[in-house]
Amino acid sequence: MENIGVFNLFLMENHTSCVGLLSRKPSFCVVCKKSISHKHRPKREWNVEGPLCSDCYINEMQRYYDSSVRQKCVICGIEKNVPDLWEPRWQWEMKGLLCKACFDKKEESFNKLKNFCSLCGTKLGIIRYNPKKHWSIEGQLCTNCWNSQKAKSR
């Protein structure tokens, strides 16, 4: 019986200190600084630390969703829906998405560089020459232009 009394006394003493652990401290929204009763935890991708109120949570969610649905064209900067944008070809060595007009311009200039001589503009046949780096010429060359550039560099 003595042990039960000591145990009850122990619970009575510690019960008053436990009440502080179970009670909630007032929380404030990290964005708008309003007092909140229900905390919403932000997602990692949002780069927000701390609890959010319901309004700020919805705003952050909407902002993140809009950024994943709408993006800007890399060249002209026009903002469009992602399904309306085109992915650049791997040969172009670009990152990002392009609108249809910029994609067509880039495709046309790429085909011109690939199919025509960079210096004289004649259509390239089977034999093509890549210019040397120190010539500072972009694109490919025909036999005549290659020979003339080679003679100049000697």
Q: What is the mean pLDDT of residues 45-50?
A: 83
What residue numbers bound the domain in which 97 lies?
Answer: 73-110
Q: What is the model's pLDDT at position 23?
A: 55
Same domain, 79 and 101: yes
Same domain, 49 and 33: yes
CA dihedral 69, 74, 80, 81 (to 10 degrees): -30
Same domain, 132 and 146: yes
pTM of the model as a whole: 0.49
Total domains in the fold of the chain: 3
- Give just the sign of the alpha carbon dihedral 123, 124, 130, 135: negative
pLDDT band at residue 103, thresholds of 50, 70 and 90?
A: very high
pLDDT in tens, 1-32: 455 555 554 544 544 444 445 556 788 898 89
